[in-house]
Amino acid sequence: MGRFGTATALQLVTQGREVMGVERDATLVQQLAGHMTHIVQAEATDIEALRQLGAAEFRHAVVGVGTSVESSVLITANLVDLGIERIWAKAISKSHGKILSRIGAHHVIFPEADAGRRTAHLVSGRLLDYMEFDDDFAIVKMHPPRETQGFTLAESDIRAKYGVTVVGVKTPGEDFSYATPETTVTSRDTLIVAGHVQLIERFAARP
């Protein structure tokens, strides 16, 4: 239940999910008591301890250990042996992630590397948020370039010029709306844009 594990658990609780946190540090257990469905002090590297806690009854598990590769691998292996349907595991390096995948983790997460790439895209100034998917495809939130302001999307013809698609437009004080050819963009708007990373970067670089 470090920063990553705690943030994940608390968000799941907010979404109405039943969550059991397992943490060896008694101080952390005490701090988080009352914030999630269950939290217990136990050693997750011990498969018998996990069995006694009823971990096998859960369909999904998240392994948030990052400081010890050995512990991360052993906990993941325990969850695989318990027959957990879906396992997400945090990795701190490519080799760590490769091991986790090979022993049965269904999803390997690289939070530090992902956050670093995301930050690199945001420092340009125009991008407000950035989410990258496979095959270099991304969805971003951004300020509208000057050449789009005061025109409908049909008039500015962004898709033909830059190869990206404006998915939606958010005007301050108004609800989010899906974009149509008739949508007029103003300087106050925020655009939701989808496309390949290089094409989005080219579009976002417009003044």
CA distances for 78 relative to 9, 19, 127, angstroms: 20, 18, 41
Tell me how far apart the alpha carbons of residues 22 and 108 are, in angstroms, rounded to a whole number: 19
Q: Residues near 2 by Cβ (< 8 Å), separated by ≥ 6?
A: 64, 65, 66, 67
Q: Extract the tokens encoding 146.
A: 């000057």
The reply to whether 3-109 and 114-204 are identical in fold is no
Q: 156-180, pLDDT tens digit by residue?
A: 999 999 999 999 999 999 999 999 9
- 108 touches 66 (CB < 8 A): no
- 64 touches 2 (CB < 8 A): yes
Rounded (10°) angle between helices 94-103 and 69-81:
20
Containing H/E element for 48? Answer: helix 47-53
Tell me how far apart the alpha carbons of residues 155 and 166 are, in angstroms, rounded to a whole number: 13
pLDDT of residue 124: 64
- 196 touches 136 (CB < 8 A): yes
147 DSSP 8-state letter: G
pLDDT of residue 116: 83
Sign, CA dihedral 11-14-15-18, equals positive
Supply the CATH classification number for the domain 3-109: 3.40.50.720
pLDDT of residue 66: 75
What's this model's pTM, rounded to 2 decimal places? 0.69
pLDDT of residue 67: 79
pLDDT of residue 132: 84
Q: 69-111, pLDDT tens digit by residue?
A: 999 999 999 999 999 999 999 999 889 999 999 999 999 989 8
Pairing outcome for strands 107-109 and 127-132? unpaired
Q: Residues near 129 by Cβ (< 8 Å), separated by ≥ 6?
A: 122, 140, 141
- Classified by CATH at the fold level, domain 114-204 comes out as Alpha-Beta Plaits (3.30.70)
- 84 touches 56 (CB < 8 A): yes
Q: 94-153, pLDDT tens digit by residue?
A: 899 999 999 999 999 898 888 887 788 787 667 899 888 877 899 999 999 999 999 999
How confident is the prediction for the chain on average, in pLDDT?
Answer: 91
Domain boundaries, the chain: 3-109, 114-204
| Over residues 42-51, mean pLDDT | 95
